[in-house]
Amino acid sequence: MNDRPLDAVQLYAALLGERLSADALVRQWLDGADAVDFVQDVLGRLPQPGGVEPFERIDAERHGPEGPVRADWPPRMRVAGTVRYVAMVALALHEHGAWRSSRSAQELAPVAKALLLRAPDAWRAPLEALCRRAQVV
Amino acid sequence: MKSPVSDAFPPSARSWLAVARDGSPQQRRDLSASLTAIYREPLVRYLQAFGVRLEVEDVVQDLCARILDPSFLDEWQRSERPFRLWLRTAARFELMNRIRKERRRMGAGDGALADLAESDNAQTAFERSYAASLIRTASDATQRVLESQGRGHEWTLFIEHSLQGKPYAECAPPLGIPVDAARHATARVRGLMLDALRGVLSAEQVAEADFERELMALLSRLQP
């Protein structure tokens, strides 16, 4: 048994499981050590004509053969939408020129807003540009 | 009462009153300890945010000592306020009384002390600490229940899988849990923890329909 105090955030996340909202997932993910790097990597590959790689492949390169699986994240968090959010928006923009989602802009706006509020300075500008194009804020 | 309180988290706000009035000394001690574990630290953080030169821990200690006083709980019930807001108000008034006493002792009048304004910082400090102490106390209680039932390995499974991210195939067999049964075991542990939280959140006047939203709100208070 681990003698360290249990992490309260992880305990809540474990309880909420798949029901953890996108907003909370985004906040969790932004606390990840290489979140900025990952987003920059995804965005950096976008302009290449015909060279858009599924974000899962990029993630797999960074995190191992199991794809979007990070050992330091609770399981639900690893497989849920957080890590995919920025890449998903980016790829949708690249492919369709607009953000397409079954979820309403009203539902996504708080997610994007939360993401921008928590975004490190290094990639706030690219994200803001992305969100403007994505029409979710 | 069918089961001893020591084996469970505070099951509901209504049960607090029953224990306060008719519980055995042991039941009262156990319930008082559970509630103190949840609310003591948040109250200390709350009073510290007022920045007064008094030992706020003494104030909170005294408040926690009468947390199961039936008249105190009756007054809270009549107030129809969430328990933590009731405690915060009680703590703030107690702090004001201490300040007045201290001023009188020093020979100063207390006319200038109209009220202690509750700052946003004080509220934030309380809510953040409360979110952490609530989930930790619930998890401690769940672990105790499982260990008392000889199912401590299920708690370990829950931690290793749900918090540390280990696959069932890796963490279940060493604990003697078949991989096929692992998902059910962690679901049971989650259910126990959720039930533990429901008891306290009922006192915080969180309706069942809002339970999940409240957990989300508690989680968000822990974000930097």
Q: Are A82 and A22 in contact (CB under 8 A)?
A: yes
Q: Is residue A116 part of a domain?
A: yes
A54 or A61: which leads in pLDDT: A61
Among B157, B162, B201, most A C-beta atoms within 10 A, so best to mutate, is: B162
* Angle formed at CA B138 by CA B136 and CA B139, multiple of 5 degrees: 65
What span, in angstroms and rounded, lies between the C-alpha atoms of B159 and B165?
8
| Lowest mean pLDDT segment, chosen from A125-129, B53-57, B64-68, B99-103 | A125-129
Q: Which residue of B has its CA nearest to A78?
A: B165
Cα–Cα nearest to A61, from A76, A73, A45, A77: A45
Is the minimum CB–CB distance between A72 and chain B shorter than 8 Å? yes
* Angle formed at CA B160 by CA B154 and CA B161, multiple of 5 degrees: 90
The whole-angstrom distance between A50's CA and the closest CA on chain B is 35
Q: What is the pLDDT of residues A7-41, one digit of tens each?
A: 888 888 788 764 554 444 444 555 555 555 655 56
- What's the total number of domains in chain A? 1
Helices and strands (DSSP H and E) totals, chain A? 8, 0
What span, in angstroms and rounded, lies between the C-alpha atoms of B224 and A120?
13
| Residue B107 banded pLDDT, cuts 50, 70, 90 | confident
Looking at residue B176, what is its pLDDT?
Answer: 96
Task: Name the B residues in 138-177 with CB < 8 Å from any A CB.
Answer: 139, 156, 158-159, 161-165
Helix A22-30, helix A8-16: angle, nearest 10: 150
Burial of A13 (0-12, 13-18, 19+ CB in 10 A): buried
Looking at residue B89, what is its pLDDT?
Answer: 93
What span, in angstroms and rounded, lies between the C-alpha atoms of B95 and B112?
15
- What value of ipTM does the predicted structure carry? 0.84
Tokens of B194: 């959720």
Q: What is the mean pLDDT of chain B?
A: 85
| Lowest mean pLDDT segment, chosen from A95-99, B1-5, B92-96 | B1-5
Identify all chain B residues contacting A8, using CB atoms and an 8 Å cutoff. 131-132, 135-136, 222
In the chain, the amino acid numbered A134 is: A
Is the minimum CB–CB distance between B219 and chain A shorter than 8 Å? yes
Among A1, A7, A9, A19, most B C-beta atoms within 10 A, so best to mutate, is: A9
Looking at residue B132, what is its pLDDT?
Answer: 94
Task: With a cut of 80, say whether residue A87 has pLDDT above it.
Answer: no
Q: Which domain holds residue A120?
A: 8-134
Identify all chain A residues contacting B37, using CB atoms and an 8 Å cutoff. none
Task: Name the A residues in 112-131 with CB < 8 Å from any B CB.
Answer: 118
Helix A8-16, helix B211-221: angle, nearest 10: 150
Burial of A21 (0-12, 13-18, 19+ CB in 10 A): buried
Is the minimum CB–CB distance between A106 and chain B shorter than 8 Å? no
Task: With a cut of 60, say whether residue B102 has pLDDT above it.
Answer: yes
Looking at residue B157, what is its pLDDT?
Answer: 94
Q: Which domain holds residue B101?
A: 5-221
Task: With a cut of 90, say whether residue A120 has pLDDT above it.
Answer: no
Is the minimum CB–CB distance between B27 and chain A shorter than 8 Å? no
- What's the total number of domains in chain B? 1
Percent of chain B with pLDDT over 70: 90
Looking at residue A9, what is its pLDDT?
Answer: 82
Q: What is the pLDDT of residues B157-169, one digit of tens each?
A: 999 888 776 778 8
What span, in angstroms and rounded, lies between the C-alpha atoms of A115 and B126?
25
Highest mean pLDDT, choosing among A35-44, A64-73, B80-89: B80-89
Q: What is the DSSP letter of B171?
A: H
Looking at residue B31, what is its pLDDT?
Answer: 86
What span, in angstroms and rounded, lies between the C-alpha atoms of B139 and B155?
9
Q: Is residue A107 part of a domain?
A: yes
CB pairs under 8 A between A and B: 71
Q: Is residue A122 part of a domain?
A: yes
Task: With a cut of 90, say whether residue A46 has pLDDT above it.
Answer: no
B154 or A79: which leads in pLDDT: B154
